[in-house]
Structure 1
Amino acid sequence: MTALDASARQSALDRLIANAPFLARLAELNPDDISRFLADGTDAALARVAPPPDDDDIMRTLRQWRGRTALLLALGDLSGEHDVAATTRLLSAFADQACDAAIRAAFAERVPGEEARGLAVVALGKLGSHELNYSSDIDPILIFDPATLPRRQRDDPDEAAVRIARRMVEILSARTGDGHVLRVDLRLRPHPEVTPIVLPESAAISYYESEALAWEQAAFIRSRASAGDRALGENFLAAIQPFIWRRSLDFRQLKEIGAMSDRIRDHFSQGQAFGPGYDLKRGRGGIREIEFFAQVHQLIYGGRDPSLRVPATVDALAALAKAGRIDADVANRLTGHYATLRRIEHRLQMIEDQQTHSLPVQPDALGAVARLDGETDGAALLAALLPVVTDVGACYDSLVVERAVTGGLPREESELAGALLAAGFEPPAAALRTIAEWRGGKLRALRSPAALEALEAVLPELVKAIGAAPDPQATLIRFDKLVGGLPSAINFFHLLAAQPELAKIATRILSLAPTLADALGARVELIEGLIDKRAFESPATKAELMSEWAPGLSGLDYERLLDRVRDRVGERRFAYGVQLVAGASDPMMIACGYSELAEAALQVLADATVAEFIEAHGRVPGSELVILALGRLGGRALTHASDLDLIYLFTGDHLAESDGPRPLGATTYYNRLAQRVTAAMSVPTAAGKLYDVDTRLRPQGAQGPLVVTLDSFERYQREEAWTWEHMALLRARPVYGSDDAKAEVQRIIDDLLAAPREPVKLAQDAAEMRDRIAAHKPPKGPLDIKGGPGGLVDLEFAMQVTQLATAKCHDPNIGSALACMRVDGFAPAGVCDAHGLLGRMLVMLRLTAPDGEPATPAARQLVASACGEPGWPQLLAAHDAARQEIANWWASIRPS
């Protein structure tokens, strides 16, 4: 031991004896513990204070154990050997062990010889997060299982559980000559004024699924099965996870949580003014505001991000910063402030083992707290705390939680008309009428007092946002239609009021993107995903998406998995569309993102479908399913509305048979499996539609089998395939299967595409096919980007004929292939730019003009800007020039 260690320990002991009467008494009673602490340190001394064995005098042994533990933990804290986190963790571990001992004793008294099972302690609050105070209540919820709880022969299960629970509480809480073990507060249970102190598990689950209040959801952020039958407690918590972590936000609840904090501030107003008497826990800038700051952010984002579901406050702040939900500097400052406030809180409680959080008013008492902490006097302690509570209060006040409505929209018609004019509604008559209808409850979603209150909260920002839209009147009509389709608008309005930027995004969607507006009308909760700033980051890769989804998809049954994947894809696809509408991303980058998204969905759903199929029919030995993507998915260039062009293949012997309980021949096996994969990707469920799947590019088209072996595929492509089928293979990419199987498919494709061609016949075949397409599917209009002379179809035909003739640049992505061809001199210099322009136009017009018509006047500037042009006339001129460039290239290739 160094001299520094010895000095710190002696100083801790001296300060304890001089300033903390409760601990000084314990030091007198336990001199051996003091000697070990001074000689070897806190941890060595604690190691000698083992939990007592169960005996007949459980009340006394637990209290003596508690006294020794409290003394040594105080010394470890005061000497600096333990920081606040270590102290609270050890206090929590002690509480867990004490509860276990009390439960065992209560069972032994009631049902001797029986195992203590069927009764669980679910810890909330600081015990739930391993952050227990030095002298704190514990706030458990007690639940029991009537089927497994041991009881006397004639005992009613409910009565037996109550008797055992009551005895457990008495063992812990009753004050004797040796003090107490733990104060137990059971008032956090459902309806504490009328319910027994221990609840059947099924009744508790039912309550939290249907009746629980906002503060109870926040309370369960810090929850765990801490003692008793832990398996029972963990099952209970698993069952109510959807209540705790709601994927769909309820901003009414966040508003209630904010209001609860305001009520606490008001109730403890005497402890608000900083100085003597200040309440470290509930005062402005105190401990609870740091906890609420973390919990509100967890409630907002934790339903969608499992990494934020951590109970401890400091851990939560770190997770929120790592995920980018709060500023890292704020997280670091609050973490330091939390440690400071908790440390001083412990000093208050060490003095007389009282559950107090307020700084003493009397100078002498305040000085004792200061000296116990190593400060010279009360003034020095206050000076150290002032910047802490000031900063905490400022951070908490920055929380975006909806408060009471202030400065609402006028109700008197002339004043309202003036406000609407100022916002951009000119003339205001139609807007006046619509708002009057909303306030009058004409729409179903606005017929409750709560809905009308929520409406008034959001109206000022909503009118401002709609008035700033390119066409305010048309946007207001679409918004009215959106609200008219909702069963309730309460949460939607609360969300917009709490997040004003979302109101601007929503109006931009309604005014510019009919495709996204329809999606929002079908699932208004889609807009919640935009709260996360990561919704505007670069699109995720397939691997990133699968990693992000994995926690929320594991353990789901097949039907729920289908719904959940549709939810995830719908949210992400919507967010990508919003990026385009916001002008935040390059359309070609989003097209790649759409493709990665579809491929991730295919991987997850195909894996699940294969696993379910194997359960029924086993595996075909030496064989597996392989999926080949063509078209836009193969080329990683999907639009918002693209379907998926797929070919299903399988490896191995087509004469083999599966080895499961209901065996099938390989061909039948894989045809049924492929049908199920297609259904998993395309059948609408309660969560909506995912993708249309087109399998007509398979060998022999729609008349051929849905799935063929790799050998059959290769033989067909070599011996029977039309030229256009080989052209299609230029955009083929294996997207599902083992690495070896995908590599074999890629080898087949590479060999086929490298085969020598007769250039004249190749061009003739392609021209005939292009003519048939033109006759069968004429262009929808001048802005049919794919069809018509010089469109993307002409581009692909010119490019693919050249690729096959030269056996060069076989990249499924058109942009990459053209760049290669340009370098090798196989494509005109202007074709790359022409493709870039038309490709971007296609992606943008799928959102803004999905029926093939020109974009609305409001959307034209958006499309032009996304394509790199200053305005719509310039875009049309560039479009015509690009088409001419492509048409000239195709004309130079096709036979005259």
Structure 2
Amino acid sequence: MDNAHRASDIIAATQRARRWSPFLAMLLDREPVLAAALAEGRLDPDPAPLDLDMPVARRLRLERRALALRVAIGDLAGVFDLTAVTQQLTGFADHALDTAIRTAIEERTPGAEARGFAAIALGKQGSGELNYSSDIDPILIYDPDTLPLRPREEPEAAAVRIGKRVVELLQARDGDGYVLRVDLRLRPSPEITPIALPIDAAISYYEAQALPWERAAFIRARAAAGDIALGRQFLDTVRPFVWRRALDFGAIGEIRGISRRIRDHHAQGQAFGPGYDLKRGRGGIREAEFFAQIHQLIHGGRDPALRAPATRVALARLAEAGWIGGDEARALIDSYTLLRTIEHRVQMIDDRQTHALPTGDALDRVAWLHGLDSSAALLALLAPHVAATGRIYDALDDGAASGLSHDPTRLDAELAEAGFAEPEPARQRIAAWRAGAYPALRSSAAQAALEAVLPTLVPALAAAPEPQAAMLRLDSMLERLPSAINVFRLLEARPALATLLAAILSHAPRQFLRQRRRVAQDRR
């Protein structure tokens, strides 16, 4: 692209942004120096430096604002490809997270070295693929022996306070917007664990208790901010948990199950057209990601070259190694590139964390922002790529679905049909089991056994004299069992026992059940 064409494209992109994106129009008004350069066709490499005495949170918000505008116009003009866009967005997220950690430590212990506290980036930050409105999903870890402390302060309390301050610095909003959305729920058992974990406890968890989906998530893990050496030490230690030389088809089945549950739960966004979910829909972004991750988990334990965090790089390497077809890889890479690009257009409109195509006139605005004539042209551009990804992923999946729906509305209907007068409490209990709420339910084998027995167990519980009491007492048993796999398999094989168990659970005193459970465990 020569300079004249590049300048013309930048000017046209700026005009489209001002006309069709309220968010980018607002940024153009708030960044007059940058806006003037863009109006002349110049994409200045760096904005003027900000005052270092400015409060850190405000400085980061202003940096993010200028970056968002510059990257968006470069993207719309075709100056930046998808790789350049996501790398710049990820680079800023790393910088902001690191700055927030160092600031939080300096505020509490002035002059102390910023060590003993690290952020492990997961998801698209970990793989260097952040989009315009991504949240970040770090796991915060600390070393009790090196974390700076105040006098008479316990390391756990200090780490939690640092973590809370980091989130506050990044997430707080004012007239300049915000820096980053932060989601800390990918840490182990987030409902009961502190927001920052001691490194030894985190290692013990991932080596002994982690769920298969957590193994897949760590394909894209990276030490991103804070004490990088500490973060790398943690990742080096848990690497054997992620990359196993022996094939683990339980983990593969779990990833396939996640995809089926997404299709089930987001059924309204599956059909292609206005309202289609670019991320979760059939043939969408996530299916290309899962396709790559499934093959990486199968083959990456024996071939380190396949451990690439970025989806398109992983697909290319899998094809080079002969594990997937070259045509498949090219189709998935092309589809992923286009869908991520249009996802960015959708998010540029109002800076919303959304992945679904809008409907009506709003879809036309997305098309016009992209430089197309109409929403029909946008859908025609997307359709063959969505179909190709869906077809490739469908061929990978074995099609075996669980007997009960994962969609709350559908599951309520199935529970009501089975005989539960009040389906909601039963649905919540089943959701907790599926989430691996108890140690006996956390392995892939336990989850598979649970899904297999639910079609037998649910009608038996519903037909019990006291269905809700039976459900609660079964939950209490599962909470205390060391393993539930054999129980589930027995009930699946002998449905009459499920009926008998439900009847006993309805009426048996809790103390009796505890005694029977201890006897059963002693005889194992």
Structure-to-structure mapping, 1:321-360, within 5 angstroms: 321-360=319-358
State the match for 1:383 in structure 2. Answer: 380
State the match for 2:391 in structure 1. Answer: 394
Contact 2:9 2:41 (8 Å CA) reproduced: no
Structure 1 residue 405: deviation in Å? Answer: 9.2
Measured against aligned partners, the alpha-carbon deviations of 1:771-810 in whole angstroms (never above 9, x if no partner) come to: xxxxxxxxxxxxxxxxxxxxxxxxxxxxxxxxxxxxxxxx
Structure-to-structure mapping, 1:781-796, within 5 angstroms: none
Contact 1:330 1:395 (8 Å CA) reproduced: yes
Q: Distance in 1 between matches of 2:31 and 2:327?
A: 44
Question: Structure 1 residues 56, 75: CA separation in 2 closer, same or farther (over 3 Å shift)?
Answer: closer
Structure 1 residue 2: deviation in Å? Answer: 3.4
Q: Distance in 2 between matches of 1:300 and 1:402?
A: 19
Amino acid paired to 1:152? R
What SS is found at the alignment partner of 2:332?
helix
State the match for 1:305 in structure 2. Answer: 303
Contact 1:255 1:403 (8 Å CA) reproduced: no
Of all paired residues, the percent bearing the same amino acid is: 58
Structure 1 residue 403: deviation in Å? Answer: 2.9
Q: Distance in 2 between matches of 1:166 and 1:232?
A: 20
How many corresponding residue pairs? 409
Q: Does 1:47 align with 2:49?
A: no
Q: Distance in 1 between matches of 2:254 and 2:52?
A: 45
Q: Distance in 2 between matches of 1:401 and 1:316?
A: 22
Question: Structure 1 residues 97, 450: CA separation in 2 closer, same or farther (over 3 Å shift)?
Answer: closer
Structure-to-structure mapping, 1:792-807, within 5 angstroms: none
State the match for 2:259 in structure 1. Answer: 261
Q: Does 1:131 align with 2:132?
A: no
Structure 1 residue 148: deviation in Å? Answer: 0.6
State the match for 1:194 in structure 2. Answer: 192
Contact 1:49 1:69 (8 Å CA) reproduced: no
State the match for 1:658 in structure 2. Answer: none
What SS is found at the alignment partner of 2:220?
coil
Contact 1:54 1:101 (8 Å CA) reproduced: no
Contact 1:169 1:184 (8 Å CA) reproduced: yes
What SS is found at the alignment partner of 1:220?
helix
State the match for 1:733 in structure 2. Answer: none
Q: Distance in 2 between matches of 1:450 and 1:343?
A: 38
Amino acid paired to 1:29? R
Amino acid paired to 2:394? D
Structure 1 residue 402: deviation in Å? Answer: 7.4
What SS is found at the alignment partner of 2:225?
strand
CA RMSD of aligned residues (A): 2.0
Structure 1 segments unaligned to the other structure (5+ residues): 407-448, 458-489, 491-896
Structure-to-structure mapping, 1:797-876, within 5 angstroms: none
Structure 1 residue 55: deviation in Å? Answer: 3.7
Amino acid paired to 2:292? A
Question: Structure 1 residues 378, 405: CA separation in 2 closer, same or farther (over 3 Å shift)?
Answer: closer
Q: Distance in 1 between matches of 2:185 and 2:347?
A: 22
Amino acid paired to 2:22? P
Structure 1 residue 33: deviation in Å? Answer: 1.0
Structure 1 residue 38: deviation in Å? Answer: 4.7
What SS is found at the alignment partner of 2:137?
strand
Q: Distance in 2 between matches of 1:53 and 1:30?
A: 16
Structure-to-structure mapping, 1:421-440, within 5 angstroms: none
Q: Distance in 1 between matches of 2:203 and 2:394?
A: 34
Contact 2:246 2:301 (8 Å CA) reproduced: yes
Structure 1 residue 175: deviation in Å? Answer: 1.4
Q: Distance in 2 between matches of 1:167 and 1:7?
A: 44
Amino acid paired to 2:147? L
Question: Structure 1 residues 155, 450: CA separation in 2 closer, same or farther (over 3 Å shift)?
Answer: closer
State the match for 2:362 in structure 1. Answer: 365
Poorly superposed stretches of 4+, deviation over 6 Å:
none
Structure-to-structure mapping, 1:554-633, within 5 angstroms: none
Structure 1 residue 54: deviation in Å? Answer: 5.1
Structure 2 segments unaligned to the other structure (5+ residues): 404-443, 453-484, 486-524
Structure-to-structure mapping, 1:242-261, within 5 angstroms: 242-261=240-259
**Normalised by the size of structure 2, how large is the TM-score?**
0.75
Q: Distance in 2 between matches of 1:319 and 1:27?
A: 40
State the match for 2:371 in structure 1. Answer: 374
Q: Distance in 1 between matches of 2:246 and 2:266?
A: 33
Structure 1 residue 41: deviation in Å? Answer: 3.8
State the match for 2:37 in structure 1. Answer: 36
Amino acid paired to 1:79? A
Structure 1 residue 401: deviation in Å? Answer: 5.2
Question: Structure 1 residues 53, 206: CA separation in 2 closer, same or farther (over 3 Å shift)?
Answer: farther
Q: Distance in 2 between matches of 1:38 and 1:49?
A: 18
Contact 2:256 2:397 (8 Å CA) reproduced: no
State the match for 2:233 in structure 1. Answer: 235
Amino acid paired to 1:63? R
State the match for 1:274 in structure 2. Answer: 272
1:118 to 116, 135, 141: 116
What SS is found at the alignment partner of 1:358?
coil
Question: Structure 1 residues 359, 49: CA separation in 2 closer, same or farther (over 3 Å shift)?
Answer: farther
Measured against aligned partners, the alpha-carbon deviations of 1:834-854 in whole angstroms (never above 9, x if no partner) come to: xxxxxxxxxxxxxxxxxxxxx
Amino acid paired to 1:385? L
2:182 to 181, 184, 203: 184
Contact 2:11 2:38 (8 Å CA) reproduced: no
Structure 1 residue 58: deviation in Å? Answer: 1.3
**Normalised by the size of structure 1, how large is the TM-score?**
0.44
State the match for 2:13 in structure 1. Answer: 12
Contact 1:173 1:183 (8 Å CA) reproduced: yes
Q: Distance in 1 between matches of 2:398 and 2:148?
A: 47
Which structure has the greater CA radius of gyration?
1
Q: Distance in 2 between matches of 1:346 and 1:163?
A: 34
Contact 1:49 1:65 (8 Å CA) reproduced: no
Amino acid paired to 1:310? A
